[in-house]
Amino acid sequence: MNTSEVLSMYENIAGLSTQMAAAARMGDWDGVGKLEARCGSAARATATGVPPLEGAPRLRKIDLLKQILANDREIRDLADPWMNTIPGMARQ
């Protein structure tokens, strides 16, 4: 996997996480689930090993990871109240 492929993979995951956050804001939990499956498939590629990046590509990867984490936090913040309405799913 070369630098361009690594960044493309992270950009794809970031884009999917942005779509997931938008679906969560609209309360479209089925859409979130479908996008989550696509995101999971894309993220599995990182398990095969991603080469380390240097310089500007490394900084871009860090920015993408921050975006992914921010989207994840927003989705969790939106999902928590919804999860608490489902019997047996309330968080302890």
For the segment 46-64, what is each residue's pLDDT rounded down to a tens digit? 777 788 899 999 999 999 9
Question: Which among 31, 42, 29 is positioned nearest to 68, based on CA atoms?
Answer: 42
Distance CA 71, CA 65 (A): 10
- Domain assignments of the chain as residue spans, ordered by start: 3-83
Determine the pLDDT at residue 86. Answer: 67
What pTM was computed for the model? 0.84
Q: In this structure, which topology does domain 3-83 adopt according to CATH? A: Methane Monooxygenase Hydroxylase; Chain G, domain 1 (1.20.58)
Distance CA 40, CA 68 (A): 12
> Lowest mean pLDDT: which of 6-20, 37-51, 66-80?
37-51
**What sign for the dihedral angle of Cα 14, 22, 66, 55?**
positive
- Residues 22-47: pLDDT tens digits? 999 999 999 999 999 999 888 887 77
Angle of CA points 76, 67, 44, to nearest 5°: 80
